[in-house]
Amino acid sequence: MYNSTVMDHFQNPRNTGDLSEADGIGSVGNPACGDVMKIFIKVEDDRLVDIRYQTFGCAAAIACSSMASEMVKGKSIEEAIALTRQEVADALDGLPEEKIACSNLAPDAIRAAIEDYRSKKID
Q: Which residue has the higher pLDDT, 25 or 35?
A: 25
CA distance 60 to 99: 7
| Mean pLDDT rounded to a whole number for the chain | 93
- Of 89, 102, 109, 114, the active-site residue reads 102
Angle at 84 between CA 78 and CA 89, to 5 degrees: 140
Residue 123 confidence class, pLDDT cut points 50, 70, 90: low
CA distance 50 to 73: 6
pLDDT in tens, 74-95: 999 999 999 999 999 999 999 9
Does residue 46 register a pLDDT over 90?
A: yes
102 is catalytic: yes
- In the DSSP assignment, the letter for residue 58 is -
Neighbours of 8 (CB within 10 A): 16
CATH topology of domain 4-117: Sufe protein. Chain: A (3.90.1010)
Q: How many residues are recorded in the chain? A: 123
Q: Which amino acid is at 123?
A: D
Cβ 123 vs Cβ 89: under 8 Å: no
Cβ 35 vs Cβ 61: under 8 Å: yes
Cβ 42 vs Cβ 23: under 8 Å: yes
Domains of the chain: which residue ranges?
A: 4-117
Q: What is the pLDDT averaged over residues 56-75?
A: 95
Q: What is the pLDDT averaged over residues 62-82?
A: 97
- Of 7, 33, 58, 59, the active-site residue reads 33
Residue 14 confidence class, pLDDT cut points 50, 70, 90: very high
Q: In 3D, which of 15, 88, 20, 24 has the Cα closest to residue 55?
A: 15
